Each structure stands twice: as structure tokens, then as C-alpha cells.
Chains A and B, each alone.
Chain A
């Protein structure tokens, strides 16, 4: 150990590091540190010539330990470890010193940054002599994949994987797959009929020989480890035997409870207590709502007409929730979004003023299969003569959601077009902050709408009220807004107001993320591994993201990300094994006193007690390397490879050496 030969490489990272840190000085200083054989500066260490420096020095100078002072190890540790391995050195004999994210980018003063860079580097130079050669552990990978959530993103990802020959389990919370896209009438900017492009994919998924669809089901627990997840799924009771149900809908017509607010029609229409959410539902199976069914909620239904109506005898009031266990190698999360709760924005009167509706409600109103058969009407059944569309409700607003929801400008334009198409005489006002028409064909669509006679008012609406101050306002809704282009305040009397609500993370996004072992961003959406280079991966290896659960997205972007997630999962499960970091714990049986303290503390039940030898033992395949046992043992017997106490001690010494 005393005669280790350490090579230090200090990366300029263009000006990212060298612009702040006096690299010359640090390199000169490093060359004089104990065990350091060579210290070099290079413009871009991650480039091929940079990596070649490492390989050559290992071969020619007999370097035995390497430290690369550059960016975060999260970024390039694998790159440099591979370079070390290519040069003939065990990759675990290389350490990175993070002098970019943790130093040059965050420190104001160049002199202070230079000092801090030395300390960060010193910690690693001190640590390295204690590093040991380690061999990565290979574990087998289960080739099956689970997709959670089956809106357009989940459907797309599942189909891609299934077409590639993988076995896919699709878990969907609702009785049918389809998600939000199934509720829309038209899609912007092409005005494709949403159902026409979605339902073929839905039925392809339902019929795919490689796909097991578990609708009306929820994931309750995820355990196991990389490449080998064990998932518990609760299949909620439909009180209908899905093997027998043909989806004929005779029961739904027969049911005596017909007036339950339909979730699919966002409360604008009704469904029976036994229902099929919409005619193209997949699976096309009836479901009984236990809270509304008289037999299930009250214990008595005089008629039980569903039972008599059902030819195949599929109704089963005794059905119970079922627990199913799945083993999968990779998981794709596609749990989507929910609409911003417009009642929170009280000044717009949603929930109080009858003809103030949300964008999702308008989608159903304008939909030919919706509660009004596609007629755009007010609560009294009459067509509105004027409609105001209020952008950015809940979005771009520090009181609610700071972010832009990305789809609202465009769907608002689509609404204006649909209104003009159905009701050419109706005046439409778009009240916007900025018009964000950034996608393919979007700006053109915006231009087209300007020619269709829609009024564009640049300004966020201040209030919607039903208090008339002039005769023309009598009995109507009044939108107050500043027209920021004209610099005047306006009062717009209209018959209907559509709130273009933003997209919010699912209410339970945080708990779901915890169940799967990854995190959420500050805005509440699932956190990707890297915002640019790995937008479809999570921090948990083998778990991927698709669609609006990661951030608001339009359909093309959701589909594109679903493809990326599917490719990620496919690449992952196509390898028969995966290498996991060998930074796991081990226990020296000679030293263990058998006190048991570590056994109960291990989060993964990876330590078992050998009663015969009276010592604790680590089950290598189950240990994930948290190091809790190491810190807990009173005699420091368990040690964690790669994070030995002596390594951490040396790092501390190095950090404080100057």
C-alpha cells in the first residue's frame, strides 16, 4: 500500500472547471502529494484522447490507482472506470473527484474554488491507497416487463415490447385502458379523431398474445432487486366473472340504478351501477360499482335485474379482491396526470357558476359519443352565443403550479376551432398570456385559427362573475381581464367560460414513486434520471418512465417517450444478466459476536443468523449495499466493500489535510 502509484487527471471541462479553478496550481500541488506519481491537466478528460491518457499511464508508468477530478461521478464514473479497465486496472481502483458540480459551478470566488478543489481532490488521493480490486456481481435478469398505467403512453410502450417478443403485464387502475386520450374528441393540430387513432391500439393490446392485461388493478407492493422485481397486484373485484361476461351490456340497461355520475364523462353524464365505461372499452367487461349497487351497498335489490338480464350468468356478488404476484425484470411507469383542480382557482367561479366548465368537460361536450351527442350546449340545453377560453388556469402561476403545462394553448385553439365548426355564429375569445405553439404544425394551426375569426386577447383573466353592470351583461357571465396589448381593462359578457386547466401530477404520485423506489421532481412529477440524456429512466435501474407522469406532454411527445422507455426496458431485459455494484457488506465470522443487532436492521432481510456458528451472515444476492449494518455494529464487524471504514476515514483525513 505504501508504494501505490497514483495518477491524477484534472479536467478543464472547457471553461466549466478551468474558468473558475486555477487548474495549473491544483495540478502542481497534486503532483507533490503522497503516492502521486503523475498529475496531468487535460481539456476534456471524457474525450477519447483524455481516456487514452489514463490507459497509457497505467501501461507505461505502472500506475496502480487513478483519480479523475472532473464532473459528477453520476455522469462519467462508468466512462473512466471502463478506461481504467481497458488499461488493465481494476475499475474500482479509480475514484472521481467532483470538482465541477460541487465546486467550480457553485463557488463565486476563484481563489476559494481553487482551495475547495484541492480539498475535494485530497480526499480522494488519501482514500485511494485503501481501495481494493472488486469484481462486479452478475445477477440474472427476468425477461418479462410490467407496464403500469395504460393511457396512450403505456399502451404504446406495451405494444412495442410485446411486438419485440417480450412478455408484458399491463396493470391499469381503471376498468378500461385508454386513459385521457380515450376521452378526447379531436387531437390538435391535425384534428384526427382521437378514438379512431387510439382504439385500434387498445384492441391490439387487449388481444396481443404476449400481453397479460390486468385492468381494474393496482400495484400494492414492489420488492426484489434489479432485474428481478417481485410485484404484488390487487385485482379489484368487478363482481362480474370476466371469463363469462361477453360485454353485451344487457345488464347495464337492466340495472335499476341508472343515475350515477359517469367518471368517463367527468360527471356530465350518467351511468348505471353496473357499467361499461365506454363502448370501445378494453377489456369490454361490465363492472359493478359496489358503492352504488343496491345489493352490494344495502344488501337488498328488489329486482336484481342484472342477474336475470345476463345470459351467461356472469354476475357474482360474492367476488373478492384478488392478490396476484408477478415477477418481472423491468418496469415502465406510465401513470399519467390529472387535471388541475379548478375549484382551487375560486375567482373563476368553477363549481359555483353553472356555465364555467373545465377543458376536460368541454372535451366530453364536444365528443360525438359524449353526454350531449357532441352538441356544445350550456346547462339549459341552449347553444352558447359567445364563449371565453381562459388559458393557464393553475399553470404558470406561482400560487399553484409554476410550470407551463405545454398542451393548454394548443387544446384551447382546438376548442376554438371546434366551436366555430359546430356553431359558426358563436363568438370565441381566447385569453392567453403567451401563445405557445411550439410543435410540428402548431404555429400553422394558430395562424389558421386567426383566420377563422377567433378573438385573441393577450392577458390573463382576472375574474369571472355573474354580476351585471350593463344591460348586455344581464344573465350572462362576465370575464374581467386586462388586454395587455391595448393597455385597457375589458369586461367580456359571454355565455360560457372554458377553463384551460393545467396538468397536475397524480395526487398519489409521491406514494407511488416511493413504492417503486424513485423520486419526484420539485413540481411533483416523477423524477427522471437525467433531464436531457435519460428522460425515460429513473434512478432505480430497470424502472423507466413514459408519458405525462414525468412532465406534461402532448400525445406525440408521450408516444415518443413511450418508445424510448420501451427501448430502455428492452435493452435491459434482453441481457441475460446485469452487473450490479459489488459495494455490498460482508461479515468476518471470526469477529462477529452474534449479538443480532444488524439482523433486524437490514432493510432487505439480507442478513441471516447462522444459529450453528452463532454468527450473522450476509446473503450476497439480497444485499443492496446501504451500509446500515456497518454503521450499526458496535464492534465494526460488518464492512462494506468500496465504503470500508478505513476508506471513509482516509477521505475525511484528506479533506481536512489542508
Chain B
């Protein structure tokens, strides 16, 4: 595996906790790796499995979903839906041939800037260790074979 591989990561952040946690990491000038591009949703419960698949198919090597801690969701229990959906999605991804660890769910509150920064750096290193995914290309190759 080439060591200069820079993972590309999409992070879905719920607006009320994790997005603010990321903001706090910013105002506190905590440094973390630059590989993740955040996408804001109102609630982690808005994150559709197709968003994750889309990200991976479009070239992401990893996907982070971050929401409020259990009990803290701005919409009462949206994050319980996320939590319920997540294992199913992991199963699905496994069946699609994806290694474990490319998609991660974390609860990060608006007060946890440090946790946000640590999570992103750690997750980036985890993906770096897994290597590039190139999922989209794999599909194209398979399609070319069947065509």
C-alpha cells in the first residue's frame, strides 16, 4: 500500500450537536487531519443509507456519521433511528464486499470539540490503513466485464 495515500472522507454531521462540536473544535483551534468534508443534515436520522452508498461509489474511502448522544437528539429520538439503521447498513455493506471499518457512527455533542477532532484524525488513520476503496472504479470494471 502506498504511504502517500490520502483518504477521502465524507462526514454527515447533525446540525444540533456534531456540527456544533465541529465548530467548537474550530473556535478552540484544535488541529485535526483535513481529509473529511462535512455535510450538514438537521438530524443524523436524515442520513439515508443511499447517501452513504453514494459517497462510497463516488470516490469516498470512508464515511462518518455523527449525531447527538442518545437522549440528546434535538428531535427526541431521531438518533435512535440512526442507531437502529446502522447495523443493517453495516450488514449491507459487508454483503457488497466492503471491509469493516469504512463507515463509522459516533455520538459527538456540541460540547465535545476535542472528541470531534480526535475522531476525525483517528478515523482518517483507520481509513488510511485500510487503503483506497475505488469502489466506483470497481463497479465500472465489473460492468465492463458483463457488457
A complexed with B: yes
Q: Known interface pairs A645-B50, A649-B54, A656-B55. Does A113 touch B78 (Cβ–Cβ under 8 Å)?
A: no
> What distance in Å separates the Cβ of A482 from its nearest Cβ neighbour in chain B?
32
Q: List 26 A-B contacts (CB under 8 A).
A: A101-B26, A102-B22, A106-B26, A106-B31, A113-B34, A115-B34, A123-B37, A517-B74, A517-B76, A519-B109, A522-B111, A527-B111, A583-B42, A603-B78, A626-B73, A626-B74, A627-B41, A630-B48, A631-B45, A631-B46, A631-B47, A631-B81, A636-B50, A648-B51, A649-B51, A656-B10
- Contact check, A103 vs B23: say whether CB atoms are below 8 A apart: no
Contact mask B16-53 → A, CB, 8 Å, 1/0? 11011011011101111010011111110111111100
- Contact check, A643 vs B41: say whether CB atoms are below 8 A apart: yes
B127 interfacial by beta-carbon distance below 8 Å? no
Of the residues B10, B26, B110, contact of A100 by C-beta under 8 Å: B26
- Cα A407 to Cα B56 in complex, Å, equals 53
How many chain B residues have a CB neighbour from A under 8 Å?
A: 51
Residues of B within 8 A of A648 (CB): 39, 41, 48, 51
Of the residues A603, A651, A655, contact of B77 by C-beta under 8 Å: A603
A210 interfacial by beta-carbon distance below 8 Å? no
- Contact check, B29 vs A105: say whether CB atoms are below 8 A apart: yes
B5 interfacial by beta-carbon distance below 8 Å? no
Q: From A540, A601, A627, name the one whose CB has the most chain B CB atoms within 10 angstroms.
A: A627
- Contact check, B110 vs A603: say whether CB atoms are below 8 A apart: no
Of the residues A72, A514, A645, A651, contact of B26 by C-beta under 8 Å: A72
> What distance in Å separates the Cβ of A68 from its nearest Cβ neighbour in chain B?
15
- Cα A631 to Cα B45 in complex, Å, equals 7
Of the residues A106, A630, A655, contact of B37 by C-beta under 8 Å: A655
- Contact check, A628 vs B60: say whether CB atoms are below 8 A apart: no
- Contact check, A626 vs B112: say whether CB atoms are below 8 A apart: no
> What distance in Å separates the Cβ of A550 from its nearest Cβ neighbour in chain B?
13
Query: Nearest chain-B residue to A648 (Cβ)?
Result: B51
- Cα A116 to Cα B8 in complex, Å, equals 10
Residues of B within 8 A of A645 (CB): 48, 50-51
- Cα A632 to Cα B85 in complex, Å, equals 9
A119 interfacial by beta-carbon distance below 8 Å? yes
- Cα A107 to Cα B20 in complex, Å, equals 17
Residues of B within 8 A of A627 (CB): 41-43, 45-46, 78
- Cα A640 to Cα B42 in complex, Å, equals 10
B59 interfacial by beta-carbon distance below 8 Å? yes
A467 interfacial by beta-carbon distance below 8 Å? no
Contact mask B64-104 → A, CB, 8 Å, 1/0? 00001001111111100100010000000000000000000
Residues of A within 8 A of B47 (CB): 631
- Contact check, B71 vs A539: say whether CB atoms are below 8 A apart: no
- Contact check, A101 vs B22: say whether CB atoms are below 8 A apart: yes
Query: Nearest chain-B residue to A111 (Cβ)?
Result: B34
A166 interfacial by beta-carbon distance below 8 Å? no
Residues of A within 8 A of B48 (CB): 630-631, 636, 645, 648
How many chain A residues have a CB neighbour from B under 8 Å?
A: 52
> What distance in Å separates the Cβ of A513 from its nearest Cβ neighbour in chain B?
8
B58 interfacial by beta-carbon distance below 8 Å? yes
Residues of B within 8 A of A527 (CB): 110-111
A559 interfacial by beta-carbon distance below 8 Å? no
- Cα A631 to Cα B81 in complex, Å, equals 9
Residues of B within 8 A of A514 (CB): 71-72
Of the residues A123, A522, A601, A656, contact of B112 by C-beta under 8 Å: A522
- Cα A116 to Cα B26 in complex, Å, equals 14
A398 interfacial by beta-carbon distance below 8 Å? no
Residues of B within 8 A of A517 (CB): 74, 76
Of all A-B residue pairs in the complex, the 4 with the closest CB atoms, nearest first, are A101-B26, A627-B46, A626-B75, A628-B45
Contact mask A88-101 → B, CB, 8 Å, 1/0? 00000000001011
A604 interfacial by beta-carbon distance below 8 Å? yes
A520 interfacial by beta-carbon distance below 8 Å? yes
Q: From A101, A115, A628, name the one whose CB has the most chain B CB atoms within 10 angstroms.
A: A628
Residues of B within 8 A of A102 (CB): 22-23, 26, 38
- Cα A419 to Cα B86 in complex, Å, equals 62
Residues of A within 8 A of B74 (CB): 517, 539-540, 626
Contact mask A439-483 → B, CB, 8 Å, 1/0? 000000000000000000000000000000000000000000000
A181 interfacial by beta-carbon distance below 8 Å? no
Of the residues A100, A108, A115, A604, contact of B76 by C-beta under 8 Å: A604
A652 interfacial by beta-carbon distance below 8 Å? yes
- Contact check, A74 vs B23: say whether CB atoms are below 8 A apart: yes
Inter-chain pairs besides A603-B73, A653-B58, A655-B10, 14 sampled, C-beta below 8 Å? A98-B23, A102-B38, A112-B34, A519-B109, A519-B110, A527-B110, A627-B46, A628-B45, A630-B46, A631-B48, A640-B42, A648-B41, A656-B59, A656-B60
A596 interfacial by beta-carbon distance below 8 Å? no
> What distance in Å separates the Cβ of B109 from its nearest Cβ neighbour in chain A?
6
Residues of A within 8 A of B109 (CB): 519-520
- Cα A645 to Cα B46 in complex, Å, equals 10
Of the residues B20, B42, B81, contact of A601 by C-beta under 8 Å: B81
Residues of B within 8 A of A625 (CB): 42
A220 interfacial by beta-carbon distance below 8 Å? no
